[in-house]
Structure 1
Amino acid sequence: MIYFDNAATTLHKPDCVKGAVLQALDAMGNSGRGVHDASLYAGRTIYRAREALAKLLGVGAPENVVFTANATESLNLAISGLFQPGDHVITTVCEHNSVLRPLYRLQGVELSFLPIKRRTEVEAVGTGADRVKDTGILAYNELESLLRPNTKALIITHASNLTGNITDLERAAAFAKKHSLLLIVDAAQTAGAVPIDMERMGIDVLCFTGHKGLYGPQGTGGVCVRPGLSIRPLKVGGSGIHSFDREHPSEMPAALEAGTLNGHGIAGLGAAACWLLETGVEQIRAREQTLLRRFVDGVKEVEGVTLYGNPDLDRRTGIQSLNIRDYDSARVADWLYEDYGIAVRGGAHCAPLMHEALGTREQGAVRFSFSYFNTEAEADEAAAAVRELAEE
């Protein structure tokens, strides 16, 4: 199988990740719930993972890295814990349902959505010049028009999971700083794949998952919180400290980590973070960009193939979504796997507003997403398969 569904989860992990999980399964007790070797081993392993992730993501202190089960839990935690009735939040049409659904559920909180650029606003670039509406580039110049007196935050993805477009976080952060807004970033598609420095980039809350670009196990993720910012806990309960207090501890990270952590998964995530620091996120990004360019070069001139995303591939992650003629995207994904052994993702990708903006609500899109562990030969095979399907 040729696996190009890495935006959903990276299938191939570094060997150190597997080794760390296996070692933890044999040796790990419950962190913070004892003074014996198994418990201390768990605590030290989890703390080392915090340190590695803090360094990787530019977080001020390890205790401001809070572990969760995934980016969905991270975003639910941040969104439910920072807003109250009467607040107004700006977000974008690029967002995943992990942002949209928690926002929709808030009672008494108003929402505004930053759209993508209209056809007349997008410069003609390369082969995408005749399909500029398909670029999915955000209309950043409309941010000011969305501002209200009660606006509290800008919630924005670092990169679309549908188009791979990388958000202009510098511009977003400047807008948020100018108007004293919280900047909450969904880094599900970029943590480990694109360099991130939370402090330098002016991010207040960074939400990530472990099983994608971080090459960690499923069931791992986290929230990085700017020092001094308080978030109401999503859940309370056991913490291993202050057991006689009726209220959950307020100290980070315990304040947002009620219950037993996924120590075995975090051991793997910590090993993955160390591997990323050693390998270099820049090197990983360069590899994925090489594969993306190779694939795009192989399909961009094919009649009947529509590409989505910024034509400037330097502003993209290793994702290319496309459609072939008017074929249903789920059917194309089935054909690619059944006839060519190529695993991709068809459908809506949990990004409903982006599909509506691109006009692909009914057809969906076929997403190819590349990993550091893919090869040029695999990218070439995928391009050849798309060409064959378009010619049928």
Structure 2
Amino acid sequence: MGIYLDNAATSYPKPEIVAKAMYDFMINNGTSSGRGSYQKAMQSDFLVYETRKLVGDLFKFKDYKKVIFTSNVTESLNLALRGILEENDHVITSSLEHNAVWRCLKTLEKEINITITKVKASKEGYTNPLDVEKEIKNNTKLIVFNHASNVLGTIQPIDEIGKIAKENNILFLVDAAQTAGVIDIDVNKSNIDLLAFTGHKSLLGPMGTGGLIVNCDYDIKPLKAGGTGGDSAYEYQPDYYPNKLETGTLNVSGLAGLKEAIKFINKETIQKIHTKETEVVDYAIDKLSNVKNIEIYGPKKSDDIVGVISFNLKNKRAEDVVNELDLKHNIMLRAGLHCAPNAHELIGTKDIGSIRIGIGYFNEKHEVDTLVYALNEIQD
């Protein structure tokens, strides 16, 4: 299958049981959840509940009805941001946000006149929590940070930021797209009010799955209105969870896959997964540092990053390098801005982008060796 090093975009391969569970559901059940009282529909309901519980437990969250399923982390973030922010509210965010946050904030700035403070960070992507605290205003409604950058891999100090948010009675939203499944997250310990996650990255599940953990009592406005399978005569969106924020037919086959993915992670343990990825990341940074004409961005220590390494080769366009790696060496990487222009502005690559390695649980050191060989060869 070649060498796949784009796990920051989506993890591949998935555990085999994920595809099997999805196939089994579609062949042997295939019913909607919450849309019937017959046996198969009840089985579908229970499958969704089991997945909801597994997700909650993964993040040390026990109020399972407030585990809200969405189609991806972008929808989760839009649900939180649009459901909370009102006219003239102030938001504090990082200098590393993905467009899933940044575009939504900029749109709300235009639509309802919110104000946005982008907290400075070092060129390596480190944010000083005290710089977050300095930006708090009387109308600060929300602090939103990614847990780890999808460009630099830098892990943000969410424990410290969460403490600051809690002390100042400000809601704290964390984008865990790059960390859920590979870093242990405790929403209560970290004072996270809202945690947005996706199923298809380090959670090892299928595309089309994601969610929002609602660890607060704030009255979040629904992003959508429509059928929930219950209270059908009531003309407005229900005000109880999860129906308040979940509308339309759920991706039950996808949740069947996500359920088995989380069970796989629980069996392997997050600690084992994190340790394996850390070993490969350390190895990759060491080997890549010897590649001719390379510039590696971000921290150079695995303790400070997830499995994301961005770099460029001098006098080579990132897109050309990635294309040659694919066509001549069957190595799959990603080039460009990675939907995070603010992070590239931070490191001075907004005009040229970068090449990104996304290391996952199933990558091995020998694949790094092959990549290093190929990078040197294409410069000869």
- TM-score of the two chains, using structure 1 as the length reference: 0.93
Aligned partner of 1:217 among 206, 210, 229: 206
Name the residue aligned to 1:283: 272
Report Cα offsets for 1:218-252 as digits up to 9, x if no partner.
00100000142321100011011111111111111
- Aligned counterpart, 1:45: 47
CA distance in 2, matches of 1:54, 1:116: 31
Kindly indicate whether the alpha-carbon contact (under 8 Å) linking 2:22 and 2:257 is maintained by their aligned counterparts in 1: yes
Contact 1:295 1:382 in 2 (8 A): no
Correspondence for 2:307: 318
Query: What are the ranges of 5 or more consecutive residues in structure 2 without an aligned counterpart?
Result: none
Query: Tell me, which stretches of 5 or more residues in structure 1 are unaligned?
Result: 118-132
What is residue 123 of structure 1 aligned with on the other side?
A: none
Q: Which residue of 1 aligns with 2:15?
A: 14
User: What one-letter code is carried by the residue in structure 1 that aligns with 2:121?
Assistant: I
After superposing on structure 2, the runs of 4+ consecutive aligned residues of structure 1 that deviate more than 3 Å are none
Partner of 1:65: 67
Match of residue 295 from structure 1: 284
Amino acid at match of 2:101: V
Is 1:361–2:357 an aligned residue pair?
no
Which of 355, 358, 364 aligns to 1:375? It is 364
**Counterpart-to-counterpart distance in 2, 1:215 and 1:302:** 31
SS of residue matched to 2:311:
strand
Determine helix, strand or coil for the equivalent of 1:360: coil
Aligned-partner SS, 1:200? coil
Kindly state the Cα deviation for residue 309 of structure 1 after the two structures are TM-superposed.
1.4
Alignment match, 1:109:
114
- Asked if the contact 1:327–1:363 (Cα under 8 Å) also holds between the matched residues in 2, the reply is no
How far apart are the structure 1 equivalents of 2:142 and 2:97? Answer: 15
Q: Secondary structure of 2:169's match? A: coil
Native 8 Å contact 2:3 2:367 kept in 1: yes
Structure 1: which amino acid aligns with 2:280? L
Deviation for aligned residue 1:303: 4.2
**Aligned equivalent of 2:150:** 161
Q: Deviations over 1:30-71 (max 9, x none)?
A: 111111122111101111000111111122321111100000
Instruction: Give the 5 Å matches for 1:1-392.
Output: 1-26=2-27, 27-106=29-108, 107-117=112-122, 133=123, 135-389=124-378, 391-392=379-380
1:335-383 CA distance string (max 9 Å, x none)? 1111211100100000001101110012211001111111221122112
Residues in 2 aligned to 1:139 and 1:202: alpha-carbon distance in whole angstroms? 17
Tell whether the 8 Å contact from 1:60 to 1:226 is kept in structure 2 after alignment: no
Q: CA deviation at 1:384?
A: 2.1
The CA distance in 2 between the partners of 1:380 and 1:286, in whole Å, is: 19
* Stretch deviating more after TM superposition (56-65 or 199-208): 56-65
Find the aligned partners of 1:329 and 1:140 in 2 and give their Cα distance: 33
For 2:10, give the aligned amino acid. T
**Residue-by-residue CA offset, 1:246-294 (whole Å, 9 max, x unaligned):** 1111111111111100011011011111111111011111111111111
Give the % identical residues.
Answer: 36
> Which AA in structure 2 matches 1:8?
A
Contact 2:159/2:189, CA 8 A, preserved across alignment:
no
CA distance in 2, matches of 1:21, 1:282: 27
Q: Do the aligned partners of 2:291 and 2:372 also contact (CA within 8 Å) in 1?
A: no
Taking the aligned partners of 1:154 and 1:60, their CA distance within structure 2 comes to: 23
Contact 2:72-2:197 within 8 A present in 1 as well: yes
Amino acid at match of 1:71: V
How far apart, CA to CA, are the structure 2 residues paired with 1:139 and 1:168? 8
C-alpha contact (below 8 Å) 2:22/2:253 kept by paired residues: yes
8 Å CA contact 1:28, 1:41 repeated in 2: no
Deviation at 1:191, TM superposition (A): 0.6
Q: Distance in 2 between matches of 1:388 and 1:288?
A: 26
Q: For 1:303 and 1:18, how far apart are their aligned partners in 2? A: 41
- Residues 312-337 of structure 1 deviation map (CA, whole Å, 9 limit, x = unaligned): 32111011111111321111111111
Residue 350 of structure 2 aligns with an amino acid whose one-letter code is R
Q: What letter corresponds to residue 45 of structure 2 in structure 1? A: G
CA contact (8 A) 2:203 2:261 kept: yes
Query: After alignment, is 64-73 or 168-177 more displaced?
Result: 168-177
The number of equivalent residue pairs is 375
The residue matched to 1:381 in structure 2 has which SS?
helix
CA distance in 2, matches of 1:171, 1:326: 40
Distance in 1 (CA, whole Å) between partners of 2:116 and 2:345 is: 18
Q: Which amino acid aligns with 2:337?
A: A
The question of whether the paired residues in 2 share the 8 Å contact of 1:114 and 1:140 is answered with: no
Aligned counterparts of 1:262 and 1:369: Cα–Cα separation in 2: 27
Distance (whole Å) between structure 1 residues aligned to residue 290 and residue 130 of structure 2: 31
Amino acid at match of 1:30: S
Contact persistence 1:298–1:384 (CA under 8 A): no
Output the TM-score relative to the length of structure 2: 0.96
Secondary structure at the counterpart of residue 78 of structure 2: helix
* SS of residue matched to 2:249: coil
C-alpha distance in 1, partners of 2:260/2:309? 29
